Structure 1
Amino acid sequence: MRLRVGMARRFELGGQVYDPGDELDVPEAVAVNLIRAGLVVALDGLPGALYAPQTPQASPASPVPSQAPTEPSADEEGSPPCGVCEPATPKRGKALAVCPTAGCPCLVVSGRCPGCTRAASQRRGTARQRGYDARWERTRSAFLKDHPYCECPECLEVPEPLRPAAQVVDHMDGLGPLGPRGHDWTNLRAMTKQHHDQHTARTQPGGWNDRES
């Protein structure tokens, strides 16, 4: 679908930044979100999906009772990407981007859209289901007591007394406590939370995997 970027609008799509007046061709699902966000105008008629009824949102005065999280079904791993979130509100001076989940057209300021984030969280299960239980807490506490300073590659170049104190324990194989070396100290390293978050952002898809540590 052919679109033109509106005046005083700027956004990023597929790694390319579009400025006011630029024209682009996108699938209808992406076009709908761009139009709803007020970023573009359609050059060949409005897409029919714009007229589809929107899912009503719960009113603050009538909250929907919370429900206990359910176990992910067997076919959730192959469920389609979201594509139904309302477009995010752009921040001043920052372009919107498309959700990094393959095939999802939702517009976000950064990271994944809320729908894809919820789906990924359901697939991963709870922290306890992923092995971050009482046994891991004992392993973690003992390891941090014996390794009080950050052991990330950058900090290892600094004398130990000058390193920041560690708060989390990282699995070097990336498999967590349920991996074959989940409690093997040779597979663990102490890190500050900041350095661990930076490491996760570099090594996990989209930086979204907030593993317990």
Structure 2
Amino acid sequence: MPRKPNVPCKHPGCPALVQYGRSYCDKHQVMHRGDRDSASKRGYDSRWRKARARFLRVHPLCVKCKEEGKLVKATVVDHIVPHRGDQRLFWDESNFQSLCKRCHDKKTGTKDQHPEYKY
């Protein structure tokens, strides 16, 4: 069975190649170990999984697809306004929306990473 090719280390300017699935070479792995907390440390624990399941039972369709006239099953509970660690905003159900993975990835890859500031 052929293996996937090695990929470049993600550290800026590093020419080293690493196995597919790894992000950094051995030299830079230590530097980037704490870049992001684990999901459970960010609040996505068993309590979140229960709240998520309950919300998806009540709101089973993707709201973005529904706006376009399509009926697509929602698989993700998205925070409309990114909580950025604010626990009050994290648990505020009025800040939840049901999305399919495609719509969620599209939203988080654009609006959440590059917020639009209004003055």
TM-score, L = length of structure 1: 0.39
Q: How does 1:95-106 map to 2 (within 5 A)?
A: none
- 1:124 equivalent among 13, 17, 36: 36
Query: How many angstroms apart in 1 are the aligned matches of 2:59 and 2:113?
Result: 28
Identical positions, percent: 28
Query: How many angstroms apart in 1 are the aligned matches of 2:35 and 2:45?
Result: 18
Report the counterpart of residue 51 of structure 2 in structure 1: 139
Report the counterpart of residue 155 of structure 1 in structure 2: 66
**For the aligned residues, what is the CA RMSD?**
3.0
Q: Deviations over 1:10-45 (max 9, x none)?
A: xxxxxxxxxxxxxxxxxxxxxxxxxxxxxxxxxxxx
- Structure 1: which 5+ residue stretches go unaligned? 1-80, 89-113, 207-213
The 8 Å contact of residues 130 and 176 in structure 1, kept in 2 or not, is answered as no
- Structure 2: which 5+ residue stretches go unaligned? 1-9, 18-22, 115-119
- SS across alignment from 1:198: helix
Query: How many angstroms apart in 2 are the aligned matches of 1:83 and 1:175?
Result: 29
Query: Residue 168 and residue 176 in structure 1: after superposition, are their counterparts in 2 closer, same or farther (change >3 A)?
Result: farther
Aligned-residue offset at 1:185: 1.5
1:155 maps to a residue whose letter is K
Q: How does 1:72-87 map to 2 (within 5 A)?
A: 82-86=11-15
Please say if 1:174 is aligned against 2:64: no
Report the counterpart of residue 187 of structure 1 in structure 2: 95
Q: Deviations over 1:133-179 (max 9, x none)?
A: 01111110000000000012x53242xxx410000000011116753
Report the counterpart of residue 73 of structure 2 in structure 1: 165
Aligned-residue offset at 1:201: 1.1
Q: Please identify runs of 4+ aligned residues in structure 1 that moved more than 3 A.
A: 176-179
1:172 maps to a residue whose letter is I
- SS across alignment from 1:124: coil
Larger radius of gyration: 1
Query: How many angstroms apart in 1 are the aligned matches of 2:104 and 2:43?
Result: 18
TM-score, L = length of structure 2: 0.65
The 8 Å contact of residues 62 and 73 in structure 2, kept in 1 or not, is answered as yes
The 8 Å contact of residues 124 and 130 in structure 1, kept in 2 or not, is answered as no
Report the counterpart of residue 202 of structure 1 in structure 2: 110
